Amino acid sequence: MKRIAVLTGGGDAPGLNAVIRAVVKTAIQDCSCEVLGIRDGVDGFLKPDGILPMDTAQVRGILPRGGTILGTANRGNPFAHRLVQGGEEVIIDQSDAVIRRIQDLKLDALVIAGGDGTLNIAQRFYRKGVPVVGIPKTIDNDIGGTDFSFGFDSAVNCAMEAIDRLHTTAESHHRVMVLELMGRHAGFIALHAGVSGGADVILIPEIPFRMEAVVQQIRMRQEKGSPFSILAVSEGATLQGSRPVYASLGDEINAPRLGGIGEMVNTALNNQYGIESRLIVLGHLQRGGSPTAFDRWLGTNFGSSAVHLAAAGRFGHMVSLHGSQIEAVSLEQALAVTKRVDPHSNAVRTARAMGIYFGDEVPA
């Protein structure tokens, strides 16, 4: 292996810089490789200044920093690139142009760190002959084939600290606080942050809720002498029998937005049920900041192992975490899994044992 490239795609996740640093250092030190950084995701292959030769000097000091020094293009699907031509949006397939560039660059391997969407693109390139190795990246923890990915732990800690902050005010002021968290399809952030922060109600996509049941839990708490409640609400939490609220907000993959389910719950509490509540939408705060130790550790190990995978010629695979070991799993296999919170899992059972309510049944 003489030349390897690395790119990051999709939304921000703490730990991306650890990945980049590990790829660069491992490629140079263990494989005596040349390393190229691709700017702003796959798009970089088609930009004049999109290719950046990298050495260790460029990755110095980036380990504790959020974001990605390579940048990322959120909507960069080269197989269906949106372009405005003559006033109209057209969708064109740029994948062959990308592949030609990869061939011109004489890349022996391409490391792609990204979420579901980006890894699907990686898989399609692999099928067309590009020597791809994947690195799963998701703050939502919704990628299969790995116990966890980097970004999730930082996001959960950020969300938990927000709950910690809201707790004292909620108690002092007898308030209900609605905290909307990330998670369109998987409720792991709300579940983990809710349990570790001590939320009173957790609403997640996997367990559709009824508004009346939520209200009853809040009132029951009031009657028992706790005139405050904290609700941790996934962006994708859904009323029983309804479609997800975020679906009407456009396909922005990158953040919960005002006007989402949190606002709906908050408005209903205040206007419909006469319960004074406040809404906080944590949004992008969950994606930023210095990564936790776990995310730096995992990002570093993922990046380093991805280079070793590439050196061993195991393309079409992504690195993954099993227990405390880094392993490899085929992209095909990993992408076939839809990872969601299991409503019957021990984790949900534990949450219920803590007195946390999911809005699916009327409290006893």
CB 118 within 8 A of CB 7: no
Closer residue to a copy of itself, CB minimum distance, 136 or 208: 136
Closer residue to a copy of itself, CB minimum distance, 130 or 179: 179
Quote the least distance from Cβ 126 to a copy of itself, whole Å. 23
176 binds a copy of itself (CB under 8 A): no
Stretch 130-169: interaction string toward a copy of itself, x if CB under 8 A: -----------------xx----x--xxxxxxx-xxxxxx
Site for a copy of itself in 185-244 (CB under 8 A): 192-193, 195-198
Only one of the segments 69-77, 81-89, 105-113, 310-318 lies at the binding site for a copy of itself (rule: CB under 8 A); that segment is 69-77
Chain centroid to CA 31: 30
Return the residue of 68, 94, 229, 238 that touches a copy of itself, per CB under 8 A. Answer: 68
Return the residue of 74, 216, 222, 330 that touches a copy of itself, per CB under 8 A. Answer: 74
In three-state form (DSSP H/G/I as H, E/B as E, the rest C), the secondary structure along the chain is: CCEEEEEECCCCCCCHHHHHHHHHHHHHHHHCCEEEEECCHHHHHHCCCCEEEECHHHHCCCCCCCCCCCCCCCCCCHHHEEEEECCEEEEECCHHHHHHHHHHCCCCEEEEEECHHHHHHHHHHHHCCCCEEEEEEECCCCECCCCCCEEHHHHHHHHHHHHHHHHHHHHHHCCEEEEEECCCCCCHHHHHHHHHHCCCEEECCCCCECHHHHHHHHHHHHHCCCCCEEEEEECCCCECCCCCHHHHHCCCCCCCCCCCHHHHHHHHHHHHCCCCEEEEECHHHHHCCCCCHHHHHHHHHHHHHHHHHHHCCCCCEEEEEECCEEEEEEHHHHHHCECCCCCCCHHHHHHHHCCCECCCCCCC
Please identify which of the residues 108, 140, 153, 295 carries the catalytic annotation: 140
Site for a copy of itself in 286-345 (CB under 8 A): 287-290, 292-294, 296-297, 300-301, 304-305, 307, 322-326
Binding residue count for a copy of itself, defined by CB under 8 A: 87
Return the residue of 347, 360, 361, 363 that touches a copy of itself, per CB under 8 A. Answer: 347
**List of residues 6+ apart from 254 with CB closer than 8 A:** 11, 12, 74, 284, 287
Quote the least distance from Cβ 281 to a copy of itself, whole Å. 7
Quote the least distance from Cβ 130 to a copy of itself, whole Å. 24
Stretch 29-58: interaction string toward a copy of itself, x if CB under 8 A: xx-------------------------x--
* Active site annotation includes 140: yes
Q: Which residues pair with 322 in a beta bridge?
A: 325
Quote the least distance from Cβ 164 to a copy of itself, whole Å. 5
Quote the least distance from Cβ 286 to a copy of itself, whole Å. 9
Quote the least distance from Cβ 136 to a copy of itself, whole Å. 14
Closer residue to a copy of itself, CB minimum distance, 198 or 343: 198
Return the residue of 3, 65, 101, 314 that touches a copy of itself, per CB under 8 A. Answer: 65
Return the residue of 83, 91, 92, 258 that touches a copy of itself, per CB under 8 A. Answer: 258
Question: Which positions are catalytic?
Answer: 140
